[in-house]
Each structure stands twice: as structure tokens, then as C-alpha cells.
Amino acid sequence: MDLYTSSIPASDLISELRRAVIDGNYAPGERLSEQKVADELGVSRNSLREAFQALVEQGLVERIPNRGVSVVEPSMSDIIDIFRMRRVVEPAVIREANPVHPALAMAQSAVDDGQEGIEQEDWRAVGTANMNFHLALVRLSDSPRLVHAFRNLMAVLRLVFLRMEQAEQLHRPFVELNQEILECIRTKEQDTAAELMQRYLDTSEETLLTAYMRKGFD
């Protein structure tokens, strides 16, 4: 029986647990002990179970009968499916983008963060900036439901990156291309920007799948 109840609102607990997973505090494949995680977060086990269920629905953790909850280990088929969705969403949003949409300022901020991360050789920060750039672009759609779904998709993609070790190779090459795509949108060259994004996604997927094969991941 829990001896205390959580003082953290359920939505905040879910956000905190989600952040801990995608920041790598818990490694892909790691089994999450209810008692240990509850103690770390200062919440009741009942509250934690509800938060776990939310993350199951987001695709970040999985509940295996008789084995408890573990952080998801994305597979090669997951990568293929993630990029399948990204190809449907991102180029289409870019083609319809308003060149003065406020989300472009968020995208520029993400590019700047990526460039700063390169200067500091902080490759995890570069990866975070890249993901924030893509999320900002999807905000151009003005669709809260699409943004919500895409945020969950990118969180699972973050677990893909956490399984890999060559962070510089996976993140650095794309910062300059982010800026190029952004400039095309601003100058009303949306079709060119969409084509750049299509090639971007092709290259990124190929890089990840090749890295997965070299690691021997399924």
C-alpha cells in the first residue's frame, strides 16, 4: 500500500516522467521499477501507474505481462514507420506554409540552438534542437492534433537516437540544411523547401537504418 499520495498534478507527473525517458535518464530497454521510480519522483505508486499508462499510449514505454514496465527499444521497423509518417506530414505542411507564420521564429531559434550546440560540441543538445526545428515546422499546420501526434512521434525517435553512440554523425549534418529549408519558406519557395525536406528525410532514415544494422539491432 502507498504510504503517501502524489502532490504533483497528473499532467505534470506525466510530463516529468516523459522528459526523464526522452532525456535518457532511463535507457531504452531498461526495466522501470515502480518503487524506485516512485521514490525518485516523490509520488505514489498508484499515481505512477497512471503515468506509465499514458506513456504506453504515447509509445515510450511498454508493459509486458509478468515483467512490468520497460522503456521501449525502437526497432528498424519502427524507424521505417516513423519516417513513413514524417514523409506524409512534413513536406505537405511546408508546401502550405505561411512565410510569416509565428512558428518560423521558433524554427529559427531551434536552428540557432543547433549551431550553438555544434560550437560547444554538445551533440545531444544539437539533436534536441533538430527535433525542436521539425516540431516548429509542423506547427505551421495550425493543427493542435497534428502537433500532438507529431510530438509523440518525435519522442519515440529520440529513443532511437539514444540507442546509438555516434551522436555527432547523426545530428551535425542537418543543422545547415535546417537553415536552408527555413530560408526557402521565408522567400516563398515552399516547393523547393518541401523537396529539400524529402531528401533530408531520405538521408536521415538511411543513416539511422545503416547505423542500426551495424549495431546488430533488429
Q: Domain 10-71 belongs to what topology?
A: Arc Repressor Mutant, subunit A (1.10.10)
Residue range 98-114: mean pLDDT, rounded: 97
Residue extents of the structural domains in the chain: 10-71, 76-215
* C-alpha distances out from residue 100 to 9, 88, 96, 110, Å: 37, 23, 12, 17
| Biggest CA-to-CA distance, the chain | 61
Residue range 48-67: mean pLDDT, rounded: 92
Q: What is the pLDDT of residue 64?
A: 87
Class of domain 76-215: mainly alpha
Rounded-to-integer distance, Cα 112 and Cα 114, Å: 5
Count of CB atoms within 10 A of residue 126's CB?
25
| Burial (CB count within 10 angstroms: exposed 0-12, middle 13-18, buried 19+), residue 145 | exposed
Which pTM value belongs to this model?
0.89
Q: What is the pLDDT of residues 126-171, one digit of tens each?
A: 999 999 999 999 999 999 999 999 999 999 999 999 988 778 888 9
Asked if 114 contacts 130 with a C-beta cutoff of 8 angstroms, the reply is: yes
Asked if 29 contacts 62 with a C-beta cutoff of 8 angstroms, the reply is: no
Rounded-to-integer distance, Cα 5 and Cα 175, Å: 44
Residue range 195-201: mean pLDDT, rounded: 97
Q: Beta strand pairing status for 68-71 and 61-64?
A: antiparallel
**Set of cell numbers at residue 68:** 512490468
Residue range 16-35: mean pLDDT, rounded: 92
Q: Say whether pLDDT at 7 is over 70.
A: no
Asked if 201 contacts 86 with a C-beta cutoff of 8 angstroms, the reply is: yes
Q: Say whether pLDDT at 20 is over 60.
A: yes
